[in-house]
């Protein structure tokens, strides 16, 4: 995996850089930021939705469902103590004509898509503080 660098822009806004791409993340004004980008929980939810969309679209394309696009509507339920995502609820709109058998297969496969599987597996997080 490529190195991700995160550098402060201003206030609570940070630029996240990866493979020549840049995303700005910030907190809302109500949370002390300037709302220059999605907050980290929103980015996590977007990652879940994007993974579902990409992998489902690939499945549909590989199985001949090429007359229409996959579309995801996703919401996040938050929990407190500590504030965190408690649940992601995704509605996946499939292209027309996807068979019941393929819908069942997709239902079986989605838990093993990379981001959902990562969340299910609770990856480790090693943190090291450096600096002067």
Question: What is the C-alpha to C-alpha distance for residues 67 and 82, in angstroms, rounded to an integer?
Answer: 44
Contact 105, 113 (CB under 8 A): no
Contact 86, 56 (CB under 8 A): no
pTM here is 0.91
Higher local confidence (pLDDT), 60 or 81:
60
Question: What is the C-alpha to C-alpha distance for residues 34 and 126, in angstroms, rounded to an integer?
Answer: 29
Mean of pLDDT values over 7-28: 97
Cβ-based neighbour number of residue 108 at 10 Å? 9
Q: Residue 106: is it exposed, middle or buried by C-beta count within 10 angstroms (0-12/13-18/19+)?
A: buried
What are the tens digits of pLDDT across the range 85-117?
999 999 999 999 999 999 999 999 999 999 999
Q: Mean pLDDT across the chain, nearest whole number?
A: 95
What are the tens digits of pLDDT across the range 34-58?
999 999 999 999 999 999 999 999 9
Q: Is the pLDDT of residue 4 over 80?
A: yes
The residues pairing with 72 across neighbouring beta strands, listed in sequence order, are 92
Q: How confident is the model at residue 12 (pLDDT cuts 50, 70, 90)?
A: very high
Q: Is the pLDDT of residue 2 over 80?
A: yes
What are the tens digits of pLDDT across the range 122-131?
889 999 999 8
Question: What is the C-alpha to C-alpha distance for residues 39 and 78, in angstroms, rounded to an integer?
Answer: 13
Give the CA distances from residue 14 to residues 38, 41, 45, 62, in Å, rounded to whole numbers and listed in that order: 10, 14, 18, 38
């Amino acid at each position: 995996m490529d190195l991700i660098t995160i550098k402060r822009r201003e206030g609570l806004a940070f630029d996240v850089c990866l493979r020549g791409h840049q995303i700005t993340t910030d907190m809302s004004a109500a949370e002390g930021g300037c709302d220059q980008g999605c907050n980290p929980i929103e980015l996590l939810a977007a990652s879940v939705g994007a993974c579902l969309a990409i992998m489902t679209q690939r499945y549909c394309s590989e199985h001949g469902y090429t007359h229409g696009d996959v579309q995801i509507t996703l919401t996040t339920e938050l929990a407190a103590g500590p504030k965190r995502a408690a649940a992601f609820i995704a509605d996946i709109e499939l292209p027309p004509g996807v068979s019941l058998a393929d819908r069942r297969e997709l239902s079986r496969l989605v838990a093993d898509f990379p981001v959902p599987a990562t969340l299910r597996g609770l990856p480790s997080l090693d943190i090291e503080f450096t600096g002067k």
